[in-house]
Amino acid sequence: MRQTKFFLKTVKESPADETALNARLLIRAGYIDKLMAGAYSYLPLGLKVLEKIKNVVREEMNRIDAQEILMPALQPKSLWDETGRWEEMKDIMFQFKGRGGSDLGQGATHEEPIFDIMRRRLKSYKDLPVAVYQIQDKFRNEPRAKSGLLRGREFSMKDLYSFHATRDDMLAYYDRVKLSYLTIFERLGLNAIAVEASGGAFSEDYSHEFQVLTPNGEDIIFHCDCGWAQNKEIAKVKEGDKCPSCGAEKIRADKGVEVGNIFKLEQKYSAAMKLSVTDQNGKLTPVYMGCYGLGPSRLMGTLVEIHHDDSGIVWPDSVAPFKAHLLLLSQSTVTKEIADNAYAELQKSGVEVLYDDRPESPGAKLTEADLVGLPVRIIVSDKNNGLLEYKRRSSAEIKKIAIKDLVSEINKI
Ligand code: ATP
Ligand code: MG
C-alpha cells in the first residue's frame, strides 16, 4: 500500500482526557480515534490489527471444533428474566424501551440468547457435544472507562459456549479451551498466565482468568514460579507467603490485565432455562455447559502496553498491520526507482508492505515510522549506492542489503 493513497494521519497530541498509555499511543499513531470515554473508532491501520487478532482467535477456535455464529446485540428483557439477570445486571447492561414500550437491552454477554437457540434444537444426548462462538461487540455501562482499549463501554469479545451430555465431557472440553487460550496468547506475542478466580454465580469451582502481568493492569495477582496463581479477590495468601502448591516462600503480587476468562457453568443455567436432553435411558437431564470469554480489543490495548518504547509502538509480527515499512528518503529519480523496485519485489512475494512514498522530510518520516511501529523498516536514500538499509523495529542493528536479498531477509523471522 502506498502511503500517498492510504488514510493514515498521525496526530501530535492525544485528547487531553485520555490518560491510558495504550490509547494515547494508538491515537497518536493513527490507529484509533476516541469518540467518547470507552468508545473508539478503528481507523484503517487499527482495524487491520484488530482483524489479525480476531483471525488468530478464529483459527484456534476452529481447531477445537467450535463453530462460528453471530447473535444480535439487541435483546428482549423476557429472555433475561428467565435467569433473573435483567434485574441483576441492570447497572452494567444498557437497557431501554423500544417502540410500543417493549423492554430491550444491549448484549453485555450472550448466555441467555444462546441457550434459547439451543433449547429449541438440542433434543437428545446424541446431539451433543456442541460448541459455538461469536466475535462481536459487547456493551457494558462500565463505571470506570478510563483505560483506553482495556475497558470499553463498547468492546470486542469472543464468546464461546459449549454443551455436553456429561460432566466429564464438559471438564475435558474446559481443559482443551484452556490450552487453546494459551496458544492464542502465545501466538499474539503475549505471556498470559492462567489464574484461579471466582467461579461466578453459577459454579462453586474456580474459573480461570488469563492474566498478562503489567503495571497498568487493574487486577492484583498472587503467583509463584511453580505455576500456581490466584486473583487477589479470592486468594487467602499475601506477598511473601508460602505457596499453597509447592511450599516455597515466594508468593509474588503483581498487577495484571484479564484478557480471557473461562467458566464451568455446570447444569445451573440449563436448569433455569430448561435446556434439557434425553439421556441413554430416555430420561430428560439438563445439559452441562461451559462459557469462555476473550477480549480482542482489550488484547490490542494490552499488546501496546507491553510492546512499546519511548519512540512508539513495537508490534509483534503476528498482529502488525503491515510487516514492513518502506521509506523513501529522497525524491531523486534514481533513488525513487530503487524504492519502487523494492516495493514491487515485496508485493510480488506477498509481503505486506506500507510504502512511504510521500514527499515529507526524512526526519518526519523516520519519527513517524517508529511511532507506527511496523516490525521491519527499510530505508531507501541517496547514500547507500543502490543498497537498502534494513532494520527491525525491536533492534538497533542496521544491515545494508541488496533488493534481491530483501525477501529472504524478511522471511528469516
Ligand atoms: P473485568 O473484570 O475486567 O471487568 P469481566 O470479568 O467482567 O472483566 P468477562 O465477562 O469475563 O469480563 O469478559 C470476558 C472477556 O472480555 C474479558 O476477559 C476481557 O478480555 C473482555 N472484556 C470484558 N470487559 C471488557 C471491557 N469493558 N472492555 C474490553 N474488554 C473487556
Ligand atoms: Mg472475567
Query: Percent helix, strand, coil in the chain (nearest 5)?
Result: 35, 30, 40
Residue whose grid cell is 441413554:
280
Query: What is the predicted pLDDT for the residue at 203?
Result: 73
Report the percentage of the chain scoring pLDDT > 90: 94
Q: From the CA of 293, which ligand is nearest?
A: 1
Taking the centre of ligand 2 as the mean of its atom positions, its distance from the CA of residue 203, in whole angstroms, is 14
Query: What is the predicted pLDDT for the residue at 413?
Result: 72
pTM: 0.97
Average of per-residue pLDDT across 35-55: 98
Residue whose grid cell is 503480587:
253
Give the type of residue at 239. E
Per-residue pLDDT tens digits for 180-218:
999 999 999 999 999 999 987 767 789 999 999 999 999
* Closest residue CA from atom 3 of ligand 1: 258
Contact 197, 209 (CB under 8 A): yes
* Closest residue CA from atom 2 of ligand 1: 258
State the closest ligand 1 atom to the C-alpha of 301, by its place in the atom list counted from 1. Answer: 29
* Closest residue CA from atom 26 of ligand 1: 151
Taking the centre of ligand 2 as the mean of its atom positions, its distance from the CA of residue 239, in whole angstroms, is 23
Q: How far apart are CA 56 and CA 338, in angstroms?
A: 35
Residues touching ligand 1 (Cβ under 6 Å) are: 109, 140, 142, 151-152, 155, 157, 258-261, 293-295, 297-298
Average of per-residue pLDDT across 258-272: 94
Phi, psi of 157 (to 5 degrees): -130, 140
* Closest residue CA from atom 16 of ligand 1: 295
Choosing from 255, 258, 259 the residue with most ligand 1 atoms within 8 A of its CB, the one to mutate for a pocket test is 258
Taking the centre of ligand 2 as the mean of its atom positions, its distance from the CA of residue 210, in whole angstroms, is 9
Give the type of residue at 381. S
Taking the centre of ligand 1 as the mean of its atom positions, its distance from the CA of residue 152, in whole angstroms, is 9
State the closest ligand 1 atom to the C-alpha of 258, by its place in the atom list counted from 1. Answer: 18
Q: From the CA of 257, which ligand is nearest?
A: 1
Q: From the CA of 258, which ligand is nearest?
A: 1
State the closest ligand 1 atom to the C-alpha of 299, by its place in the atom list counted from 1. Answer: 20
Taking the centre of ligand 1 as the mean of its atom positions, its distance from the CA of residue 64, in whole angstroms, is 22
Contact 148, 198 (CB under 8 A): no
Contact 207, 261 (CB under 8 A): yes
Q: How far apart are CA 111 and CA 124, in angstroms?
A: 21
Query: What is the predicted pLDDT for the residue at 248?
Result: 86
Report the percentage of the chain scoring pLDDT > 70: 100
Q: Which domains are seen in the chain, by residue range?
A: 11-71+110-309 (3.30.930.10), 324-410 (3.40.50.800)
- From the CA atom positions of the chain, what is the Rg in Å? 25
Determine the distance from the C-alpha atom of residue 157 to the mean position of all C-alpha atoms in its chain, rounded to a whole number: 8
Q: H helices within 69-204, ranges in order? A: 77-81, 85-88, 111-119, 167-188
Determine the distance from the C-alpha atom of residue 80 to the mean position of all C-alpha atoms in its chain, rounded to a whole number: 27
State the closest ligand 1 atom to the C-alpha of 151, by its place in the atom list counted from 1. Answer: 28
Query: What is the predicted pLDDT for the residue at 199?
Result: 87
Per-residue pLDDT tens digits for 56-113:
999 999 999 999 999 999 999 999 999 999 999 999 999 999 999 999 999 999 999 9
Per-residue pLDDT tens digits for 134-155:
999 999 999 989 999 999 999 9
The burial class, CB within 10 Å (0-12 / 13-18 / 19+), for 39 is: middle
Q: At 193, which helix (H) or strand (E)? A: strand 192-197
> If you count them, how many residues does the chain have?
413
Query: What is the predicted pLDDT for the residue at 204?
Result: 76
Determine the distance from the C-alpha atom of residue 49 to the mean position of all C-alpha atoms in its chain, rounded to a whole number: 10
